[in-house]
Amino acid sequence: MNQKEKFWGLIILLVVILGYVIPYTFLSDITKWYGSFLVWSILAVITILANYFLTTDWSDEE
């Protein structure tokens, strides 16, 4: 595992943690569903981008 993979892995881990922390702490007073849905949608896009950058240089050659 190189530095790039560790960096993007930590970003994904941070996004997963934020997916739990933000809705249940900062958005807990918002009774509408779309508050958390917006946060989860943004975090999903960030995770997709992180996975893209993580896997761009993967190939069959080592």
Tell if the pTM clears 0.75, that is, is over it: yes
Tell me, what's the pLDDT at 11?
A: 93
Query: What residue type is assigned to position 26 of the chain?
Result: F
The length of the chain is 62
Identify the band that residue 37 occupies on the pLDDT scale cut at 50, 70 and 90.
Answer: confident
Identify the band that residue 61 occupies on the pLDDT scale cut at 50, 70 and 90.
Answer: low
44 closest CA partner among 24, 10, 5, 18? 18
